Structure 1
């Protein structure tokens, strides 16, 4: 009998990628064959995101794409948007099944026959029931793996729907994270990225148990001992949870790389208070200064939101100047968009869309300048690069440990390998050229 084919598409964050991989493995365990989303499949699973309006629109595009490839295919929606707006997704033409936060990991239980439904069937829990933890990691998709260590969030940021979509903060047991890391290391994967919703909050147990069994620092220390992993990278971590001890440990670690991504969201204390962030800008400056003190060559990325309700020109300029003066390496700029059931959506002082767009453009320009200055500061230094698997216009690309993007003429033997290099010059496309420090066999 021919195997049924299943294809996946992931919208959103690294955490979603790790969870898609875990869901995909559950299909393969049930005898399904995984194929690319661009291919004809019997089932299409779309892992959704709710962070931006754009992700909502993209979902509909991918349903259409699936229906074009096979109009009889069974289409399932899972993930954050599926938890927040299940009825809305179920009403999209072509969608057969919508699974919320706890149900998505049991998707194969819900797929009995693959006949199309007139209306999407919804299985979505109350988010308070999302109190158990499912460990996940992604392999086979990239040269690096995303390892989930934590889920959910107890913070009450006024613009954010993630606690509504993912529930309370809860963590994987330390021994389970280490077991997953060892499994990944056996797959010849050179880099693991730690991921979660609020990973600095690592240690909170299951079922709402708020006692920290282990701290984030202990997690990092234990992972550093796992054999066979060349690189570990911490994904986004809140400034108030990034402790000096962790920064110091990373600076002397065997495997953790000098790259931090720290959400700021605003450089104005007035706006940070309105957002209900758990720090002020002074704390952020302290974190950046500490990293620079022990790792002058570290890459520091920043998340920032423009156009939050009540953000005046003065507030925005405060953010702009704060970031301009700060020794950071690049920005991820988000234009604020109203989300249902958030406090911010009801606030006064709505910033017009054209003003939001203008502010976003200014910060994106600043990001280009910052990245360029960081890359220039690295020219002439010796680094290690991990090459990726794609041939882009005759070049192979990779990232150094401190997240400088480099390129060299395409050579398939370099894929998924680490090499000592010297950074030589910045090309017109902003990517850095390099020379090998060793003779390639």
Structure 2
């Protein structure tokens, strides 16, 4: 063992599945370097905090996690990485207790750049290691292995879309991808760990195929190759832009061996006027067509939606257009985001501004509608059989899992069911809105 073996390192991740996949890969780099990975509250010598920049609370969340780290071990080294670290490195460097801030190009070189992880002298600002995002960024493959049931596999990074409200291109740079060969190799490695489901992640995964500034492959070719990977029972597409979700992709998923009938498709607004202000690359009619195409081929498919409320220029009438559009769509749930002002975005110069109280009311209305949609979708799946993958998550004697079409199921705890897929009869909805399975139905091992 080398002299780093006594150093204990802990990780905390804010934000999306992509961040989780990258944190997991960085943690494995530390373990391979002789460090001991521990939980956040187990008195580590090093804290690595991977940040998000999607909402205006990024600063508050980062400061809170740094304070918690200092309370656990005041002498520990604290490094902050991720999107917020790329966007506001100087601001983070002034947070008391932070020793280093690393940008998008530097975060995968933590061990090389920070060396012995010696705590900064009291009162000294943190080291800032953050290149300009304008410089070409290398692609770093990542996947999570924190859960033996499901893994997040990063296949793409960055984005070339200039959406008016979004800082991701500023935080992660231009669109770039892994190769199909490397994605398949990583999928095989994941399968060898006993993982049953892979979720494909990225910033704009439908734009997959760009390597070194040149488009070499496309997303359809990627999923066709992954569909042949044995050992993985399910592949799930995390989120894909409606303008990149082609008929060919939908038709392939409908007849594939391993890709499940579940799509998450960002809408952001059901008003064409607001979509124009947001600089989105489609109109509501195209979105409606994508949903119709999916449901025609896969009637039981689960479709999730991202929607933003309160974007500058969204009048009450435009919001009602979004509400009615969503109400009529054959979708299963929403992820509702309240617009927040972000530096260096085009939306800052737009108006009229929606008051924050009004934004909150609109968010509440869509959250209520989302719950109704999800309950209706769950009810539509009752009295049918589905394949459930159970997770190692036991509460009050019950365990949970997901069907292939993303219905959350609860069942009486049975250790034999963990990380196993079973064909089960969905019998009823419980008081928490979750689906229960018939105890009289014999479990069918896969």
TM interval, short-chain normalised: over 0.9
- Aligned residue number for residue 384 of structure 1: 387
- Aligned residue number for residue 169 of structure 2: 163
- Aligned residue number for residue 341 of structure 1: 344
Alignment pair present for 1:183 and 2:189: yes
Give the deviation of 1:124 after TM superposition: 0.1
Alignment pair present for 1:438 and 2:432: no
| Partner Cα distance (2:218, 2:373) in 1 | 33
- Aligned residue number for residue 58 of structure 1: 61
> Which residue of 152, 157, 171 corresponds with 1:151?
157
Alignment pair present for 1:114 and 2:117: yes
| Partner Cα distance (2:420, 2:38) in 1 | 26
3-state SS of the aligned residue for 1:127?
Answer: coil
| Partner Cα distance (2:385, 2:81) in 1 | 44
- Aligned residue number for residue 429 of structure 2: 426
| Partner Cα distance (2:256, 2:443) in 1 | 27
- Aligned residue number for residue 22 of structure 1: 25
Where do 1:197-276 residues align within 5 Å? 197-206=203-212, 208-209=213-214, 212-276=215-279
| Partner Cα distance (2:361, 2:397) in 1 | 36
Provide the aligned length of Structure 1 versus Structure 2: 438
Alignment pair present for 1:396 and 2:399: yes
- Note the alpha carbon deviations across 1:59-100, whole angstroms, 9 max, x for none: 111111111111100011001000000011111111111000
Greater alpha carbon shift after TM alignment, 397-406 vs 48-57: 48-57
3-state SS of the aligned residue for 1:129?
Answer: coil
Unmatched 5+ residue regions in structure 2?
none
Alignment pair present for 1:354 and 2:357: yes
Give the deviation of 1:129 after TM superposition: 1.9
| Partner Cα distance (2:82, 2:71) in 1 | 23
- Aligned residue number for residue 40 of structure 1: 43
Alignment pair present for 1:287 and 2:274: no
3-state SS of the aligned residue for 2:211?
Answer: coil
- Aligned residue number for residue 3 of structure 1: 6
- Note the alpha carbon deviations across 1:412-438, whole angstroms, 9 max, x for none: 332211111111111011111012643
Indicate conservation of the 8 Å contact 1:396/1:409, yes or no: yes
> Which residue of 302, 320, 323 corresponds with 2:323?
320
3-state SS of the aligned residue for 1:140?
Answer: coil
Q: CA RMSD in A?
A: 1.2
Greater alpha carbon shift after TM alignment, 405-414 vs 348-357: 405-414
Indicate conservation of the 8 Å contact 1:49/1:56, yes or no: no
- Note the alpha carbon deviations across 1:5-40, whole angstroms, 9 max, x for none: 100011000000110011001101110011111211
| Partner Cα distance (1:239, 1:366) in 2 | 21
Indicate conservation of the 8 Å contact 2:423/2:443, yes or no: no
| Partner Cα distance (1:424, 1:438) in 2 | 13
Indicate conservation of the 8 Å contact 1:101/1:130, yes or no: no
Alignment pair present for 1:73 and 2:76: yes
Unmatched 5+ residue regions in structure 1?
none
Give the deviation of 1:104 after TM superposition: 0.2
Greater alpha carbon shift after TM alignment, 330-339 vs 31-40: 31-40
| Partner Cα distance (1:120, 1:61) in 2 | 17
| Partner Cα distance (2:135, 2:57) in 1 | 28
Indicate conservation of the 8 Å contact 2:162/2:279, yes or no: yes
Structure 1 runs of 4+ aligned residues shifted over 6 Å read none
Indicate conservation of the 8 Å contact 2:423/2:444, yes or no: no
| Partner Cα distance (1:166, 1:440) in 2 | 44
Greater alpha carbon shift after TM alignment, 216-225 vs 430-439: 430-439
| Partner Cα distance (1:95, 1:102) in 2 | 19
Indicate conservation of the 8 Å contact 1:406/1:432, yes or no: yes
Give the deviation of 1:141 after TM superposition: 3.4
3-state SS of the aligned residue for 1:271?
Answer: helix
Give the deviation of 1:440 after TM superposition: 7.1
Indicate conservation of the 8 Å contact 1:12/1:55, yes or no: no
3-state SS of the aligned residue for 2:11?
Answer: strand
- Note the alpha carbon deviations across 1:379-405, whole angstroms, 9 max, x for none: 011001111111122210111000000
Indicate conservation of the 8 Å contact 1:83/1:101, yes or no: yes
